[in-house]
Amino acid sequence: MMTDPIADLLVRIQNGARRGHESVTVPASKLKAELLRVMKAEGFIGGYERVTADGHPALKVQLRYIGEGQPVISGMRRVSKPGKRVYVGRRDVKPIMAGMGLAILSTSRGLMTDQESRQASLGGEVLCHIW
């Protein structure tokens, strides 16, 4: 039984990128699809598509590399966990790695990056950091 599906998604992407895989497949959910949409818009992944794996809905994530097999994603960290939720107010949303990385927040207007949430003057739950 999986208790944190977002952490599972992040670990599968990170492990697949480290091993040089072209794509990884993860169980599907609406939240994961939104998280992947934000990651694609920011250029961290090549894309994703809905597929069926063993009769269950899944998401196939295309990984991106730069140069000679160097993954675009050098690190990811799950911030808000099921045991300890992390929320920030609109004034407390900080840039990640001096703007080189991003935080993905769950706000009242859906998932957005730290930069988008600062522009919209919204706070929310910090799901993860990616750099």
Classify strands 110-113 and 102-107 as parallel, antiparallel or unpaired.
Answer: antiparallel
Domains of the chain, by residue range, sit at 5-71, 76-130
pLDDT at 69: 86
Question: Strand locations in 11-79, DSSP E?
Answer: 23-27, 45-53, 56-63, 65-66, 70-71, 76-78
Q: What is the pLDDT along the chain (131 residues), one digit of tens a residue?
A: 679 999 999 999 999 999 999 999 999 999 999 999 999 999 999 999 999 999 999 999 999 999 888 999 999 999 999 999 999 999 999 999 998 999 999 999 999 999 999 999 999 999 999 99
What is the pLDDT, as a whole number, of residue 45? Answer: 97
CATH number of 5-71: 3.30.1370.30
Q: What is the pTM of this model?
A: 0.92
Fold of 76-130: Dna Ligase; domain 1 (3.30.1490)
H or E stretch at 104: strand 102-107
pLDDT of residue 110: 96
Q: What is the pLDDT of residue 67?
A: 86
Q: How far is CA 75 from CA 11, 15, 18, 33, 72, in A?
A: 10, 10, 10, 20, 9
Q: Are 49 and 33 within 8 A, CB to CB?
A: no
